[in-house]
Amino acid sequence: MAVLSKKYKVQPFKVGPDFIDPTHHTRVCGRPSRNLDSYIMGERGILETFTCASVDADFCVIEGVMGLFDGVDETEIASTAHVAKILNAPVVLVINAHGVSRSVAAMVKGFAEFDTINIQGIILNNVGSERHTELIRDSLCSAGIKIPVIGALPRSREISIPSRHLGLHMAGENELDATLLSGFIEKNVDMDALKTIAGTFDVSNINPDEPDERFDIRIGIALDSAFCFYYQDSFDALRRLGAELVFFSPVSDRLPEVDGIYLGGGYPELFARELEASRTRDDIKKAANDGMPIYGECGALLYLNESLTTDKTYRMAGILGAKSRMTDRLQALGYTEAQIISDSPLAKKGRIIRGHEFHYSVTECDRDARFAYKLGRGKGIRSGLDGLMEHNTLASYMHTHPASASFAEFMYQCSRYKSG
């Protein structure tokens, strides 16, 4: 992405539900990265997002997730391979060559023959020397494998990104040098070969359906270092429905004049002291008590609860009858599927929506807690229940996507609140 962006318009994508990698893509390419997740979005959602995002791009670069064929359980769904099939996109296989030589040929042969994936190039990662690279090339040739090695990346201590409990640091938290990145790739990857591979791509375009109704409302979006996990598609979906998006920081801003609030996930546990000190939490609680629709995901759940315990216990917005505490081990990670069991600001009772959860916290609710979701897949807050509700506020551990859960009901609720 760094190399191509020097001369071309590059549209980045990330397979899977990850929020963090796309921030690095966006920083390097100068245009928002999009997620492509076939479990949550479905085939049509993948094609719609790809079509809209790539309309004026010279190149599209899709970063995979995990191994090429790793999907939900034993299936291909949500795998990089599944997305490649949906888009009919050529694949460049990146292989960790550290400590192996001829075995790479066996891996490539297995990957090439396992499924009908169009693998057109190989990049060797963590090679030890030019001799090491030649041994691998010779092994591939001896095995009759025609897929070319278009790059061999030596190990480099200069190129690294720090990580924490939810993954890599976000873009902007480190000084990763795009010039250093592009120079490293230009030296070690045949970019002409890569461009040739990209030139073989062709996809059928599908444009999103126009919404049945548009709403003239203002939606407050919490966006700062504490709340930073959002899909660009969510912002686009809200705008298509007529919303004016008003971004604010619960850490440092007062709540602006809005008709509804959307709080994403992120790292409220790292900013609990600042969130407690900010008067914004009182603004949001007052808005909730007035009946303003509020929708929150994961980190937002911790913030909308009564308290959050990290190094000590901090007061939070106090809207939902629950208390959260951070733990030193992973509490949930994976895809979710929820049936809506109560009308909520996001969807009416009876709907099925999909998403994912990833958190290190535990939330303990009051006995009379009301839940919007019953999970057929996933852990949720308590006993397979998720989506805690109070007034017209909904917050869950589950993150979802507008391809699975349209914001139309949320917008309708915000419109009613505005006119009421």
Instruction: Enumerate the active-site residues.
Output: 298
Ramachandran area for residue 42 (φ above 0: left; ψ -120 to 50: alpha; else beta): left
Say how far apart CA 66 and CA 156 lie, in whole Å: 21
DSSP SS3 for 406: coil
Ramachandran area for residue 185 (φ above 0: left; ψ -120 to 50: alpha; else beta): alpha
Q: How far apart are the first and last CA of the chain?
A: 48
SS (H, E, C) 292-357: CCEEEECHHHHHHCCEEECCCEEECCCCCCEEEEECCCCCEEEEEEEEECCCCCCCCCCCEEEEEE
Say how far apart CA 166 and CA 330 lie, in whole Å: 9
Q: Are strands 260-263 and 218-222 parallel, antiparallel or unpaired?
A: parallel
CB 227 within 8 A of CB 265: yes
